[in-house]
């Protein structure tokens, strides 16, 4: 779903919300005196760099080259230098600002330091050093940068801090880091239209955990839960520690609890098309107009998808990842033998399995299966596990052929 074109600069202006650790500006009254430095010159640089012009580019429906990996791998267009002015007092003493990359535009990054959003290039030496990484700079990265001077309007990213987490999209065997340092994945399902699919929810949970994000399950359209089945599923996830909030964007039920989950964190939304992700976000902040990535069971094969996301700042002091291209959180890259680790409530029982290499499906003396029988593990979760295990086994045997 593509909403109206929106630049994160013009679409959602900074209002000075400070999230934890964001925006360590050294003060806005810094001297404007400048120093000349040499930075990368991008050949064929015919795209205007002003926010209103990017908006125009979006509106015209042009594809903007956004793959950082491809950009750093390209030779030739990085080989020239040009001189820009950067603020003297922030470079001479080695001090940088710290900010969060909220969007990538070609070889530029939009960096939010909590005060304002600045357009930055990425220092050549940094690109070169990080060239073998999957994505040297991605949305959500915490970076140190020299701020832009008035003369150029561009800052320079000097350093990328280590990532806490990565949101990865798999396309075949290729991995794309869609976003970094996202705290949690809000996994939205619905009581009906479409009916809840715990197996699908579990796939999202695993990919969230694999990317070191906290999974939070939300059952929306709870106004349609006449039989109480969705509430039971929510309770199951709550007992494992994955939220389990029930909402209705239609009636307003649970919206306060939903909003509270976002507070002070960065969140990616996941869930099938039609479950109500846009409606929920609209209830949190009217007019957000997010292009939420719908999740399809099939992968993005054959479909053109962009690999970058955007961070949008909510008025409540939170970031939401806008992921137009993330259509599938594929978990097929996790080896079958490692799936058990991602069913966190299984883990305490595993040492008691009779066989060290127990797969918890049909072995005798399996402590996990016993826990299912005693009610300590929900049968739906065990069903998800065996299904994922079998799928993975099929995939791996196909790949080895």
Contact by Cβ (8 Å): 323, 178: yes
Name which of ligand GDP, Zn ion, none residue 358 binds, using a CB cut-off of 5 to 8 Å depending on partner kind. Answer: Zn ion
Binding-residue total with ligand GDP (CB under 6 A): 17
- 392 lies in the binding site for ligand GDP (CB under 6 A): no
Stretch that binds ligand GDP, among 43-51, 96-104, 201-209, 219-227 (CB under 6 A): 219-227
Q: Is 42 exposed, middle or buried (0-12, 13-18, 19+ CB in 10 A)?
A: middle
Residue 9 sits at the vertex; the CA angle it makes with 8 and 15, to the nearest 5 degrees, is 100
**Angle between helix 367-374 and helix 379-400 axes, rounded to 10 deg:** 150
Q: Which does 279 bind (CB under 5 to 8 A by kind): Zn ion, ligand GDP, none?
A: ligand GDP
Q: Which of 311, 315, 314, 292 lies closest to 7 in space, CA to CA?
A: 311
DSSP string, 56-90: HHHHTTPPPP--HHHHHH--STTSEEEEEEEEHHH
Residue 218 in the binding site for ligand GDP (CB under 6 A): no
Any contact of residue 220 with ligand GDP (CB under 6 A)?
yes
Considering the rule CB under 5 A, would residue 372 count as an interface residue with Zn ion? no
What residues numbered 256-275 form the site for Zn ion, per CB under 5 A?
none
Residue 358 contacts Zn ion per CB under 5 A: yes
**Residue 294 contacts which entry, ligand GDP, Zn ion, none (Cβ below 5-8 A, type-dependent):** ligand GDP
DSSP 323: -
| Angstrom distances, CA of residue 208 to CA of 249, 254, 285, 367, 387 | 24, 23, 24, 26, 18
Q: Pick one of ligand GDP, Zn ion, none as the site partner of residue 366 (Cβ within 5 to 8 A by kind).
A: Zn ion
Give the per-residue SS3 of 122-178. ECHHHHHHCCCCCCCCCCCCEEEEECECCCCCEEEEEEECCCCCEEEEEECCEEEEE
The least CB distance from residue 223 to ligand GDP, in Å, is 5
Candidate residues 176, 214, 327, 360; the one interacting with Zn ion per rule CB under 5 A? 360
> Shortest approach of ligand GDP to residue 102 CB, angstroms?
22
368 contact choice in Zn ion, ligand GDP, none (CB below 5 to 8 Å, kind-dependent): Zn ion
Q: Taking CB under 6 A as the rule, which mask of x and - marks residues 231-250 in contact with ligand GDP?
A: -----------------xxx
Burial of 205 (0-12, 13-18, 19+ CB in 10 A): buried
249 binds, among ligand GDP, Zn ion, none (CB under 5 to 8 A by kind): ligand GDP
Measured from the CB atom, the residue of 144 and 247 that comes closer to ligand GDP is 247
Q: Does 366 bind Zn ion (CB under 5 A)?
A: yes
Q: Which residue is nearest to ligand GDP (CB)?
A: 276
**CA-wise closest residue to 2 among 324, 329, 301, 327:** 324
Which string of DSSP letters, residue by residue, matches 341-367?
A: GGSTTTTTTGGGSSSTT--SSS-TT-H
Rounded distance between C-alpha atoms, residue 359 and residue 353, angstroms: 9
Note whether 224 binds ligand GDP by CB under 6 A.
Answer: yes
Give the nearer residue to Zn ion in terms of CB position, either 170 or 389. Answer: 389
Q: Does 197 bind ligand GDP (CB under 6 A)?
A: no
Question: What residues from 262 to 301 belong to the interface with ligand GDP (CB under 6 A)?
Answer: 271, 273-279, 292, 294
User: Shortest Cβ distance from residue 190 to ligand GDP (Å)?
Assistant: 7
| 165 contributes a contact to ligand GDP by CB under 6 A | no
- In the block, tokens 């995939």 appear at 395
CB 183 within 8 A of CB 307: no
Applying the rule CB under 6 A, the residues between 314 and 353 that interact with ligand GDP are: none
In the complex, minimum distance from the CB of residue 64 to ligand GDP, in angstroms, rounded to a whole number: 24
User: Does 353 participate in binding Zn ion (rule CB under 5 A)?
Assistant: yes
181, interface contact from ligand GDP, Zn ion, none, CB < 5-8 Å by kind: none
In 186-306, where does DSSP find H-type helix? 198-210, 229-240, 255-262, 277-284
State the number of CA atoms in the 13 A half-sphere of 151 facing the CB.
12
Give the residues lining the site for Zn ion (CB under 5 A).
Answer: 353, 358, 360, 366, 368
- Report the interface residues with ligand GDP, using CB under 6 A: 220-221, 223-224, 248-250, 271, 273-279, 292, 294
């Amino acid at each position: 779903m593509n909403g109206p074109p929106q630049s994160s600069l013009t679409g959602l202006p900074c209002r000075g919300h400070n999230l934890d650790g964001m925006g360590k500006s050294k003060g806005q009254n810094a001297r404007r005196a400048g120093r000349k430095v040499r930075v990368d010159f991008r050949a064929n640089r015919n795209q205007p760099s002003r926010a209103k012009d990017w908006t125009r580019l979006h509106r015209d429906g042009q594809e903007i080259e956004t793959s950082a990996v491809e950009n750093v791998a390209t030779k030739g267009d990085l080989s020239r230098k040009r001189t820009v002015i950067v603020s003297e007092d922030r470079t001479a003493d080695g001090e940088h600002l710290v900010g969060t990359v909220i969007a990538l535009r070609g070889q530029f990054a939009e960096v939010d330091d909590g005060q304002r959003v600045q357009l930055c290039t990425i220092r050549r030496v940094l690109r070169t050093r990080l060239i073998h990484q999957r994505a040297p700079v991605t949305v959500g990265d915490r970076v140190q940068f020299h701020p832009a001077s008035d003369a150029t309007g561009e800052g320079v990213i000097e350093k990328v801090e280590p990532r806490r987490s990565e949101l990865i999209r798999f396309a075949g065997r290729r991995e794309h880091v869609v976003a970094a340092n996202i705290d949690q994945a809000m996994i939205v399902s619905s009581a009906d239209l479409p009916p809840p699919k715990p197996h699908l929810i579990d796939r999202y949970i695993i990919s969230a955990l694999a990317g070191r994000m906290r999974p939070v399950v939300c059952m929306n359209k709870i106004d349609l839960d006449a039989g109480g089945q969705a509430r039971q599923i929510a309770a199951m996830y709550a007992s494992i520690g994955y939220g389990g909030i029930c909402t209705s964007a239609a009636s307003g039920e649970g919206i306060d609890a939903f909003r509270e989950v976002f507070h002070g964190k960065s969140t990616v939304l996941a869930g099938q098309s039609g479950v109500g992700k846009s409606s929920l976000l609209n209830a949190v902040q009217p007019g957000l107009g997010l292009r939420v990535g719908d999740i399809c069971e099939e992968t993005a094969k054959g479909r053109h998808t962009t690999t970058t996301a955007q961070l949008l700042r909510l008025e409540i002091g939170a970031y939401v990842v806008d992921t137009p291209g993330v259509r599938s959180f594929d978990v097929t890259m996790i080896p079958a033998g490692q799936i058990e680790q991602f069913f966190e409530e299984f883990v305490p029982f595993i040492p008691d399995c009779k066989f060290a290499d127990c797969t918890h499906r049909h072995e005798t003396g399996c402590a996990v299966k016993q826990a299912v029988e005693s009610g300590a593990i929900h049968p739906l979760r065990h069903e998800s596990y065996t299904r994922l295990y079998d799928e993975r086994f099929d995939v791996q045997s196909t790949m080895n052929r």
